[in-house]
Every structure is written in structure tokens, then in C-alpha cells.
Amino acid sequence: MKPIEEIMRMAPVIPVLVIDDVHQARPVAQALVDGGLRVLEVTLRTDCALEAIKRMQLVPGVVVGAGTVTNKDQLDACVAAGAEFIVSPGLTDPLGQAATRAGIPFLPGIANAGDLMRGLDLGLSHFKFFPAEANGGIPALKALTGPFGNVKFCPTGGIKQDTAPDWLALDQVLCVGGSWLVRSGESDADAIRERARTAAALAS
């Protein structure tokens, strides 16, 4: 498996996907990959999420992870479905330990210094700053990076195409999570592809 930092550096934006119709999973993934975004996060917010991960894996070049993972049982199910990385909204010792034992790239959510210290104690160094905008935005993350200079972040939550560059300008931000790439229930591959191209261009 690719290390989490390598995955985070593959594109400036990781689409955060809520798949309601499993039949749309592969076309959505194909449109995003065609647009230049190869790393996709499928959230466990729908009953078909695990099957969506499996179908997306059929797209050449894609790296599909599972998001909204909150416990060991979910983590195990995602690994069995072929998820290549795990994203959680927060961090608990049991989940962090389970991810470490599984050897899967893990991006846990953090919101404050205590969360970061817990993650560092678990041997982690890459985190999702979540919810990014509601949690104080860029000033809050800048304040955190002062005492924690060696960690890297993927801010997620409330970030848009027009605000993403400001986040990506921070030295310790490797990528951002974006839910704007695919709207709920959307099946317009051309529109998704075009948004992906615009987001992928943030790397240049």
C-alpha cells in the first residue's frame, strides 16, 4: 500500500463522495479520474458505500479510500471491500490502534491540540483538520501548526474551489478534501469531469 503522505500528494483535492446509487459509482469515479483527480474518498454515509468502493476500483489508476469510518468493525469492512486508505471524522485510541495493526494508510480527523497529541502518541503524523471552516478556518490551523511543526494536514469541511488555494498555500497542508466536486445524486459526467479539471489545476 502507498504511504498516506504519497496518497495525499497525488492531487491537491480529494473528492469526498456520498454515493446514493451504486450504479453511479464507477461513472463518477471515471469522470473524476479523467479530470485529473485519482484519489477518491467514499464516505460510509449510505448503505451502498462498500459496494461503491468495489466498483470504483475497476477504474484504472484510481486510489479509493473510505471515509466517515468511526470504529474497528467499519475499518475491517472497508479493508475487506478493498479500500486503500481510511479517513475518520475524529480519533479514538481503539480506532487508531486498529488502523495501525491493519497496516492501512490512515487519516484521522483532529480539531485541537489534544487530538493531535493523541495521534502523535499513536505514531501518526498526518491528519484531517475537520470540520475545517467551522473549526476556525485557516487562522485556527495556523495556530495549531506552531507547536506541531512536523505534522501534515488535509483540511476538510466547508472548503470550496475558490477558498482551496488559500488552504493549499499553507506549508503543512498537502491537500484538501472537497465535497463540491460531485453534488448529491449527480450523474452528469461532463460537469464532474470539468470540476475535477479545475480542481486538479490547483496543483500548478
Residuewise pLDDT in 10s, the chain (204 residues): 789 999 999 999 999 999 999 999 999 999 999 999 999 999 999 999 999 999 999 999 999 999 999 999 999 999 999 999 999 999 999 999 999 999 999 999 999 999 999 999 999 999 999 999 999 999 999 999 999 999 999 999 999 999 999 999 999 999 999 999 999 889 999 999 999 999 999 986
Residues near 162 by beta carbon (within 8 Å), at least 6 away in sequence: none
- CA dist 17 and 183 (Å) reads 8
What is the per-residue pLDDT for 184? 85
Place of cell 494536514: 153
C-alpha distances (whole Å) from 74 to each of 31, 32, 67, 81, 116 are: 27, 25, 10, 10, 22
Positive or negative CA dihedral for 152, 52, 185, 26?
positive
- Alpha carbon distance 152, 167 (integer Å): 12
pTM score, whole prediction: 0.97
Give the model's pLDDT for residue 204.
67
Domain parsing of the chain, residue ranges:
4-64+84-203
> What is the pLDDT at residue 1?
72
pLDDT at 185: 87
Q: What is the pLDDT of residue 73?
A: 98
CA distance 125 to 48: 31
What positions carry a catalytic annotation?
A: 41, 128
Q: Decide if domain 4-64+84-203 falls under CATH 1.10.3720.10.
A: no
In sequence order, which ranges of the chain are alpha helices (DSSP H)? 4-8, 25-34, 49-56, 72-81, 93-102, 113-121, 137-145, 164-168, 189-200
- Give the Cα separation of 64 and 43 in Å (integer): 11
